[in-house]
Amino acid sequence: MTITTENGASLSVRYFAWMREHTGTDLETIALPDSVINVGDLVPHLSAMSDGHALALKNMKAVRVAVNRTYGDLDTPVTAGDEVAFFPPVTGG
């Protein structure tokens, strides 16, 4: 799904593992609302997109965040063009 605002401010959002399964997508481009200045602001906006998004993002304590492929948290700023990734705690090795 691609939505852009009139000024074209958009954000890429990625999901992995069970979050990808719940949201039904691994990558979506969303319009960046003016009110969103950090990851914490973005979460309720994404949760409103579908029941699956709401389920995936229900417990942010069980979720890790990366902005532009560097670990962040709910206070990490987001701006137009950023890539925000949500995923469960990692289980490699």
Applying CB under 8 A, the residues found at the interface with other proteins are 14, 16-18, 66, 69-71, 85, 87-93
The answer to whether 25 touches 1, Cβ cutoff 8 Å, is: yes
Contact 30, 36 (CB under 8 A): no
Of the pair 31, 86, the CB lying nearest other proteins is at: 86
Q: Are 39 and 76 in contact (CB under 8 A)?
A: yes
Helix (H) or strand (E) segment spanning residue 15: strand 10-15
Q: How far is the CB of 25 from other proteins (least distance, A)?
A: 14
CB nearer to other proteins: pick between 59 and 70:
70
Least distance from C-beta 78 to other proteins, angstroms?
16
